């Protein structure tokens, strides 16, 4: 479970994230909808401890990110357009992450298998398609077998097959009881993916409701 309380981020006199309070619950996909520039990425970065709030806070399973022991075992994330660089193979990229985070080596083959990259594990991600890069990012997010997963605009730029695959994976992870939080600027995408919906605009909370209620009222 993720709890945001009065989460706020200002850049100079611009308020990118404005007093957000909501809870993301386990066992379902929660969509995070808002137009470009609404503050979704900034919110997610603060949820992951990558950016500090101006005020307010985020609790993950009752703790702040910096208080979590082995954070990758609690929360995994795929951030927007975060391509993997460097000369390491896909396998070695995951190995470095595993070693840095006390994750058993045998998890690497499990996650490569899960995302369908076992056959190219020895290849360098530099030559990967966008879809394969996304899959490797997802493998990295799943490495610590976290109960909470966050995806920032995961289907942007993917072909229909890749979109379908990611959508099903998110639903599968939720069906296992995990907390899945996914952002998009497309209502059509959210409607096909999420059971619960949080909507923001100009940094402010506009809705926090079940998808069925949101569709019935809009
Ligand atoms: P979204 O992910 O919904 O597209 P962002 O969180 O990326 O929105 O951006 C929200 C607002 O905050 C935008 O107006 C953006 O320009 C601004 N912003 C984001 N990061 C910074 C930054 N590092 N410095 C200044 N302004 C920023
Ligand atoms: P086994 O069948 O031996 O459990 P798996 O590869 O299915 O092997 O799972 C290994 C670990 O990965 C288990 O702890 C399991 O809970 C976890 N796991 C299974 N499915 C997923 C998934 N979709 N995402 C993340 N971890 C998973």
**ipTM given for this complex:** 0.72
CA of 43 to the centre of ligand 2 (A): 29
| From 94, 107, 110, 117, mutation site for ligand 2 pocket: most ligand atoms within 8 A of C-beta | 110
pLDDT for position 36? 95
| pLDDT, tens digit (0-9, with 9 covering 90-100), for 9-60 | 999 999 999 999 999 999 999 999 999 999 999 999 999 999 999 999 999 9
| pLDDT, tens digit (0-9, with 9 covering 90-100), for 178-189 | 999 999 999 999
Residue 85 in this model has a pLDDT that exceeds 80: no
Q: Is 112 in the pocket of ligand 2 (CB under 6 A)?
A: no
- Would you state the torsion angle of the CA atoms of residues 39, 51, 100, 147, taken in this order, to the nearest 10 degrees? -50
pLDDT for position 71? 84
Give the burial class of 181: count Cβ atoms within 10 A of its Cβ; 0-12 exposed, 13-18 middle, 19 or more buried.
Answer: buried
> Given the CA of residue 200, which atom of ligand 1 is nearest to it?
3
Residue 157 in this model has a pLDDT that exceeds 90: no
pTM of full prediction above 0.90: no
Q: Which residues, at least 6 apart from 185, have a Cβ–Cβ distance to it below 8 Å?
A: 33, 34, 35, 36, 38, 40, 153
Report which bound ligand comes closest to the CA of 14. 1
CA of 145 to the centre of ligand 2 (A): 7
pLDDT for position 82? 61
């Amino acid at each position: 479970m993720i709890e945001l309380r009065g989460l706020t981020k200002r850049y100079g006199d611009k308020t990118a994230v404005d007093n957000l309070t909501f809870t993301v619950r386990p066992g379902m996909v929660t969509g995070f909808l808002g137009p470009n520039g609404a503050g979704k990425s900034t919110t997610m970065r603060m949820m992951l401890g990558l950016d500090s709030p101006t005020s307010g806070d985020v609790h993950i399973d009752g703790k702040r990110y910096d208080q979590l022991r082995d954070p990758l075992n609690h929360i995994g994330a795929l951030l927007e357009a975060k391509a993997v660089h460097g000369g390491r193979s896909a396998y070695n990229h995951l190995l470095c992450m595993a070693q840095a985070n006390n994750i058993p080596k045998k998890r690497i083959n499990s996650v490569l298998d899960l995302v369908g990259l076992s056959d190219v594990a020895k290849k360098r991600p530099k030559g990967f398609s966008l879809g394969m890069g996304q899959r490797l990012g997802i493998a990295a997010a799943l490495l610590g077998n976290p109960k909470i997963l966050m995806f920032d605009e995961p289907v942007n730029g993917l072909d229909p097959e890749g979109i379908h695959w990611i959508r099903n994976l998110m639903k599968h992870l939720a069906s296992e009881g995990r907390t899945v939080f996914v952002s998009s600027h497309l209502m059509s995408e959210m409607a096909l993916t999420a059971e619960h919906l949080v909507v923001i605009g100009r940094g402010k909370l506009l809705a926090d409701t079940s998808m069925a209620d949101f569709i019935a009222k809009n």
